[in-house]
Amino acid sequence: MTVLDPRSPATAPGPHIRTFHPRRGRIGAARADALARLWPRWGYDIDPAGTAFDAEALFGRVAPLVLEIGCGMGEATAAMAANDPGRDYLAADVHTPGLANLLALAEREGLGNVRAARGDAVELLRDLMKPDSLDAVHVFFPDPWPKARHHKRRIIRPDVVALIRERLRLGGVLHCATDWAPYADDMIRVLRSDPGLRDLHAGFAPRPPHRPVTKFERRALAAGRGIFDLVFERR
């Protein structure tokens, strides 16, 4: 295992609690073709025992890096990357069909600043990424794990937030969004309790125009659920 900062409490060894449900999904012919052709160039398999993540090698340039944790089918990631060509976007997910769809979108739109990482984003952050290496981290609509006994699996919890903060540069931004009101309240409590983060909006943020509306969000709105954005900066 690569040890990036042994003095850091966030990177100290300890039990790893999964923050996601493993999902199965069929990959259609077009996505399977995109995956076979593009993964060798634009894909990255998260291996905690592997070498440290090298953004310059993966993207072919040096640029500010945005990590998207949980990209779904990739539509929002592709749209943000298209409108933000000066930064690189790395989408981490365990759902191979979604990553395949993202790569297909990136190829179709000619997006050279999009790459896909397959596996556990917490392992990527903890074992493979260097401190101060990220310009922003996006966590949009993560699993709320609504049952109390499953709250320990939420990705926005103190130990993971401390890890994300360490990987952000000074002034880097952690942007979260959820449609689950109890989780939103827990998120803001956890984020405000981290001494290295500053709330940029003194509460829930107005909906940022750069975050595209996804199919998931439209379904949430149609069901009458509110959308909560939280934007915090590393200080």
Task: Write out the catalytic residue numbers.
Answer: 143
Q: How far does CA 147 lie from the centroid of its chain?
A: 23
Q: Which pair of tokens denotes residue 173?
A: 């931004």
Using alpha carbons only, what angle is made at residue 128 by residues 141 and 172, rounded to the nearest 5 degrees? 55
* Buried b or exposed e, range 135-159, using 16+ CB within 10 angstroms: bbbbbbbbbbbeeeeeeebbbbbeb
What totals of helices (H) and strands (E) does the chain contain, helices first? 8, 8
167, 132 in Cβ contact below 8 A? yes
